[in-house]
Structure 1
Amino acid sequence: MSRQIFQLRISLIDVAPVIWRRVAVPGGFTLDRLHRVIQYAMGWQDYHLHSFEIEGVQFGVPDPEGELDLRDELDVRLDAIAGKDGRFSYVYDFGDWWEHEIAVEALYPAEPDERYPLCLEGDRGCPPEDVGGAQGYARFLEALRDPGHPEHEAMREWIGRRFDPAFFDPDRATVLLRRLA
């Protein structure tokens, strides 16, 4: 019996233009592995907490303090919670609140000679960690674009590297995703 592959579109909410990725993921992946797929495909660094919300139920890493009511993501497989045309959400960094919509675009049998997961395509670069959510990211981009902006030099120094918000390389994302294969 062949493995079923889920083609997912991951879209970052509240950011314009839209930042998105299309990935192919085995249906047998648990939500903790899907979390890592999202991290690598989007370009996040996995510095912060996260959760999935599926039909009103929250999944993530259980909170030993009991402050967060999360079901254990290790116990739930993708193919058990989603089907064709299904949608659910993923939030990364509860401070910045990066909300992602996950849409199941297609289901198909795994290609025998293909290694999964992989990033099929996407658009735009990932916002930097700790930039302040969607509003902070908009302010960051505004400051970077305008050399006369009062925060221009501070933002360039803070990012510490060249940052191109339009650049995304799906092949690089796939190389990172190979770590999960």
Structure 2
Amino acid sequence: MPRQIFQLKMSLAGTRPPVWRRVLVPAGYTLDRLHRVVQHAMGWRDCHLHSFEIDAMQYGEPDPDGELALRDELDVRLDAVLGKGSRFSYTYDFGDWWEHDLVVEDALTADPDERYPVCLAGERACPPEGIGGPLGYQALLEALDDETGAGDLVNPRHAMLRDWAGSAFDPSGFDPDRATTLLRRFC
């Protein structure tokens, strides 16, 4: 039987303009592998806790202290809990609370000449880790839009945010080929 591939669209909730990715992943992946796909496709560094919510069930890395009631993501295959049209969520960094809305846009037969996972498309760079969630990211975007520093008197935090992000951060930048390279190397 040919391998099934899911086409997923992941969108970062609460960001304007939107940050999103479209990926192809084997339907036989477990949720822990999908976690790595989300991390590398979006551009996160995997330094914080995460969880999936599918049909009101929470999945993630089991908490040895038992404080988080999560089912083990290692035990759950995508094709056992998802199908074409399924919608679910992924939350990363319980402090900054980055919510990702995911949808299975299509279920395809694997191309025998293709290596998976693949990032097909996306827009905008992932927010920097530790920026303070969607509100902190919006403040950073406002500071970056104020390149001249004219708004620094009104909002002195702008200069600090621009310095913190550094000149290399380009919020509009995203390269699906680079994301695919990372996915194939680490997922």
Give the TM-score taking structure 1 as reference length.
0.97
Aligned match for 2:176, one of 170, 175, 178? 170
Give the equivalent residue in structure 2 for 1:55.
Answer: 55
For the 8 Å contact 2:41–2:180, the answer to whether it is kept is yes
Find the aligned partners of 2:62 and 2:185 in 1 and give their Cα distance.
24
Q: Does 1:92 align with 2:92?
A: yes
| Moved beyond 4 Å, runs of 4+ | none
Post-superposition shift, 1:166? 1.1
Give the equivalent residue in structure 2 for 1:158.
Answer: 164
Counterpart code for 2:34: L
Find the aligned partners of 1:47 and 1:162 in 2 and give their Cα distance.
21
CA RMSD of aligned residues (A): 1.0
What is the aligned length?
A: 181
Question: What percentage of aligned pairs have identical amino acids?
Answer: 65
Q: Tell me whether 157-166 or 88-97 shows the greater mean CA deviation.
A: 157-166
Give the equivalent residue in structure 1 for 2:141.
Answer: 141
Post-superposition shift, 1:41? 0.4
Superposed CA offset, 1:149-175 (max 9, x none):
222332232123411111110000000
Counterpart code for 2:104: V
Find the aligned partners of 1:141 and 1:49 in 2 and give their Cα distance.
25
- Counterparts in 2 of 1:106-117, with a 5 A limit? 106-117=106-117
For the 8 Å contact 1:118–1:177, the answer to whether it is kept is yes
Find the aligned partners of 1:5 and 1:124 in 2 and give their Cα distance.
25
For the 8 Å contact 1:8–1:102, the answer to whether it is kept is yes
Identify unmatched segments of 5+ residues in structure 1: none
For the 8 Å contact 2:140–2:162, the answer to whether it is kept is no
